[in-house]
Copies of this chain bind each other. A is one copy, B any other.
Amino acid sequence: MLAMHSAAESKARRTNEANSKEETEAPFGLGVVLRLKPNETLFSEGDAAASFYQIKEGVIRSFRMMIDGRRQIISFSQPGDYLGLEWEGDRAMTAEAIIDTAVVSYPRRHLEGRATADVRVQNRMMAVLFGGLHNAQEHLVMLGRQTAMEKLGWFLVRLARSSRMNNGALALPMNRTDIADYLGLSMETVSRGFSLLTREGYIALPDAHQVCIRNFKRLDALARGEVPTAH
């Protein structure tokens, strides 16, 4: 346990399966709390999947990368969300903290044994898996069939639904490149899109990491593709 925290850790990129620990009681049994700083890696594509996680605090981006560096973000995980469930074998994606984040880690075998025995654990796991599938399906429609402006509307509507507001504003912890890689766009298109949404009165941007939704109904219509004049 000596000198576990190197001076370089604040900019760390290394995989981090053991960090500062705390024991917790939680729905999947006993877990260990891991704390991650911005851009720290929880696990990487190709690692053996020994654990799964629940976010306690913060935000995690999970993504897959192509050999030439193109990146597709699969999900932004928020407090309460589960992450890193794999059936067998290796990680199919990389998970990194976006901001200071705390996750509870459970050993995978912990689940296997209990799932067969405890119906409630089993149901919870099913719910998580079905939820993931449902999200992925909506993500597919968005990526495959929506325009840039619709994608941004979709993103903001989802964000509004999944996170709580701070005196009228939503936190945007991820940067423009993250948003772009989530929506299948370029960083510049995201930025231009936000500017346009602001000009058109959909939203306001107090600063780059905060959004106020001015007209949710209209934004939702945009997200659903009901605004034909959405250049």
Q: Do the beta carbons of B119 and A116 come within 8 Å of each other? A: yes
Q: What is the size, in residues, of chain A's interface with B at 8 Å between Cβ atoms?
A: 42
A86-B130, A126-B87 given; A71·B140 CB < 8 A: no
Q: Do the beta carbons of A66 and B141 come within 8 Å of each other? A: yes
A119-158 contacts to B, CB under 8 A, are 119, 122, 125-127, 129-134, 136-137, 139-141, 143-146
Q: Do the beta carbons of A72 and B144 come within 8 Å of each other? A: yes
Interface centre among A70, A116, A145 (most CB of B within 10 A): A145
User: Which of B67, B85, B127, B184 meets A224, CB within 8 Å?
Assistant: B67
Residues of A at the B interface (CB closer than 8 Å) are 64, 66-68, 70-72, 74, 85-87, 92-93, 115-116, 119, 122, 125-127, 129-134, 136-137, 139-141, 143-146, 181, 183-184, 224-226, 228
Q: Do the beta carbons of B66 and A137 come within 8 Å of each other? A: no
28 A-B pairs whose Cβ atoms sit less than 8 Å apart in the complex = A64-B137, A64-B140, A64-B141, A66-B145, A66-B224, A67-B225, A68-B228, A70-B145, A72-B144, A72-B145, A85-B130, A86-B130, A87-B127, A87-B130, A92-B137, A115-B122, A122-B122, A126-B129, A132-B133, A136-B136, A136-B137, A139-B140, A140-B140, A140-B143, A143-B184, A144-B181, A144-B183, A144-B184
Q: Do the beta carbons of A145 and B184 come within 8 Å of each other? A: yes
Interface pairs A-B: 6 shortest CB-CB: A144-B184, A87-B130, A136-B136, A143-B143, A72-B141, A129-B129
